[in-house]
Amino acid sequence: MNRSTNPSVRKASSTRSTTKHTNLRTRAVLESVTAILGRGRRLSMRVLRWSLIAVVVAVCACSRTPSTSEPDDWIPQAVSDLKTLQKAWYDADLANGMRSDWMLQGPQPPATAHTITAAEQRLGVRLDDQYRDWLTRVGNGWPAFSGGVTLYSLDEISRDLPSHQNLVTFLREESKTPQDLGTDSYDNLLVIGTTADGVDYVTLACPNRQPCASAPVWIVDRGDYTRFDSLKDCIERKIALMRTIVEQLQTQQPK
């Protein structure tokens, strides 16, 4: 049989090609991270932290391959990984002479169903089931989540606050329409988190205020737009990013 017409041969060839390119991207990320770490000795650790995030998140977004067997309940493992890696990051900073106690903050108390319903009525939206699940099982907000990202509480999500107004102003200046982000109105963009240097984490309200299982999450960083299919996808990418950064920081610790 001609190899070019054999589906199994084509699939194997495609898999080898995908694996090769993924490995090359991974190597490029690690080389870039190492280079940043090498010249970062004279930089503050906080500046270094966000430089690393900018390098790794872009490649993570393009190199992930879909999982064929994801667990039904992802939240317990995700929270455990986040807390473990946050502590490891803190320890690495401490070994390098920087005490970052703010990194050890855990999530705020979980939201109640009443709190979520009240927020939805105030905002005139329906939050997706995955985000609602996170709010009720993990916490209604999480300061210093994922190495420096703050997840807002529901009270901090408002179109009247600068976080939302600044986002809309920026999108308009960039000639970005709501349709570019997958919705029909700026009012459906909910800023659910931010970083110290102004990177916004934005999710979409469910269409027509009807229940939906999940919603996309966008990271908006000064003209760079990274889309994740869901909150779960975003958080799992952040965990992978944190793991890479912690491993690199640990290799730079004084002997």
Mean pLDDT, each 10-residue run in order, the chain (255 residues):
42 43 43 41 40 37 38 87 93 87 90 98 97 98 86 95 92 94 94 91 95 96 91 96 90 73
Residues 6+ apart with CB under 8 A from 212: 126, 128, 129, 206
- Res 27: pLDDT: 44
Domain extent, residue 179, equals: 71-251
pTM given for the model: 0.71
Element (DSSP H or E) covering residue 10: helix 7-39
- Integer-rounded Cα radius of gyration of the chain: 20
Residue 34 falls inside a structural domain? no
19: in domain: no
User: Does residue 93 lie in a domain region?
Assistant: yes
Output the six-digit token pair for 34. Answer: 């190492």
| Domain presence at residue 16 | no
Give the pLDDT confidence score for residue 146 in this predicted structure. 80
User: Per the structure, how many domains does the chain have?
Assistant: 1
Q: Does some domain include residue 236?
A: yes
For the residues of 51-77, what is the DSSP string, one character each?
A: HHHHHHHHHHHHHPPPPSS--S--HHH
Say what the pLDDT of residue 255 is.
63
Task: Look at residue 45 and tell me if it is in a domain.
Answer: no
CA 157 to chain centre: 17
| Domain containing residue 134: CATH number | 3.40.1580.10
Residue 55 lies in a domain: no
pLDDT of residue 34: 44
pLDDT at 216: 97
Is residue 150 in some structural domain? yes
